[in-house]
Amino acid sequence: SYELTQPPSVSVSPGQTARITCSGDALATRHGYWYQKRPGQAPILLIYKDTERPSGIPERFSGSSSGATVTLTISGVQAEDEADYYCQSPDISGAYPHVFGTGTKVNVL
């Protein structure tokens, strides 16, 4: 399997915008997915197929894609958004498995 690279951490003040990138060769042709993981809690699917938001996910979470990078944007960051965020994607063939990125810790200052 291959790797998806994320920055280890992103720091942002409340009300500001956080952007988390995820890079991997397969992302040039395959979709990316984003999850939020808080300590002691199960992961939550935030974004699927690069830009789609499941029902119940706040509008401040959005996704985009450009080249071999997908980006999760959190607009108007709130204290409760402090968590780890993981991207996910299949490899370039599109088949299983769908590996996870290295993870990014969002620190709300």
Binding site residues, another protein, CB under 8 A = 1, 31, 33, 35, 37, 41-45, 47-49, 52, 54, 84, 86, 88, 90, 96-103
Burial of 53 (0-12, 13-18, 19+ CB in 10 A): middle
Q: Evaluate whether 101 touches 87 at the Cβ level (below 8 Å).
A: yes
DSSP state of 25: G
Task: Judge whether 37 and 84 are in contact, CB under 8 Å.
Answer: yes
Minimum distance, C-beta of residue 81 to another protein, in the bound complex (Å)? 18
Task: Report the distance separating Cα 107 and Cα 79, nearest Å.
Answer: 9
With respect to another protein, which residue has the nearer C-beta, 28 or 76?
A: 28
Nearer to another protein by C-beta: 32 or 74?
32
CB of 42 to another protein, least distance (A): 4
Comparison of 17 and 70: residue with beta carbon closer to another protein: 70
